[in-house]
Amino acid sequence: MAPAAEHEPDPAGPQQVIALVDDDRNILTTVSIALQAEGFATRVYADGQAALKALLENPPDLAIFDIKMPRMDGLELLQRLRAQSDMPVIFLTSKDGEPDEALGLAMGADDYIAKPFSQRLLVARIRAILRRTELRRPRPENGTDEAEELPQPVRRGRLVMDPPRHLVTWDDKPVALTVTEFLILEALAGRPGVVKSRNQLMDAAYSDDVFVDDRTIDSHIKRLRRKFREVDPTFAAIDTLYGAGYSFAES
């Protein structure tokens, strides 16, 4: 199935672009209209295979995937996208899609929303993720004093985090993290040995207008550990204190 037509209003200035991937044309149309009314440009695709090629060739600022789609579902689309991109992604799931939600977060999705959903809530979560992404976007190095004022990387033993550039290394090996994963790790590494509750990590990673549950943080922690173990199978710097939360052990 070919991608649906692109919808991009004629703006006075640059717009943030949201890609929508869903085989339900009604959702594509209604969500696209709602996002355009909020000042976003939208690109819509009814086919995961066509969407993957377009997302990689011309990346949007954020993508929204339905999970249940024919040919290539949202989980497979995310898996293939994550092999080449850390683009922010929100999943749309069914009410009974808890296993899919957990799997999507474990694979690197930034958030999920269950259908039927409030368009106001969707817009709030999009803006929250885009704000976090913008905070981590590298500043242009143009030889001005602004470039010299960038904060120095944070070093915690074998871990190095460079927030302005959204870069993370472990033993000098790069570790690719989503914005949400980066913020959770930053909150933990900011005070090594101090146990952070799930609520504290939610506050660090999500804005006040976005609500998530404990399972969401647990899924992000599992993915963080898995990513670090891909570069160091002995990685054990994120500790769990059952019933209390998580901490970072500086080695």
| Residue type at position 189 | A
pLDDT greater at residue 71 or residue 146? 71
State percent of the chain over pLDDT 90.
41
Instruction: Give the model's pLDDT for residue 229.
Output: 94
Of residues 236 and 146, more confidently modeled: 236
Ordered structural domains, the chain, with CATH: 17-135 (3.40.50.2300), 152-248 (1.10.10.10)
What are the tens digits of pLDDT across the range 28-84? 999 999 999 999 999 999 988 889 999 999 999 999 999 888 889 899 999 999 888
Residue 162 near residue 71 (C-beta atoms within 8 A) = no
The pTM assigned to this predicted structure is 0.64
Query: Element (H or E) spanning 129, and its range?
Result: helix 119-135
Q: Which residue has the higher pLDDT, 135 or 36?
A: 36
**Residue where the block lists tokens 């647990």:** 218
Summarised one tens digit per residue, pLDDT across range 86-109 is 899 998 887 566 677 677 777 778
Rounded to whole angstroms, the Cα distance separating 100 from 94 reads 9
Can you say how many angstroms the Cα of residue 49 is from the centroid of all Cα atoms in its chain? 21
β-strands 62-66, 89-93: how paired?
Answer: parallel
pLDDT, tens only, 163-221: 877 789 999 999 988 778 888 999 999 999 999 998 888 888 776 555 556 677 888 89
pLDDT at 96: 62
- Tell me, what's the pLDDT at 1? 41
Mean pLDDT across the stretch 10-31?
A: 83
Nearest alpha carbon to residue 186 among 159, 150, 223, 208: 159
Token pair 């749309």: residue: 92
pLDDT category, 136, cuts 50, 70, 90?
low
**What integer pLDDT is reported at residue 165 of this predicted model?**
75
Give the pLDDT of residue 214: 62
What is the distance between the terminal CA atoms of the chain, rounded to a whole angstrom?
A: 52
Cβ neighbours, 10 Å, residue 55 = 24
- Residue 117's beta-bridge partner residues? none
Helix (H, G, I), strand (E, B) or coil at 24: coil
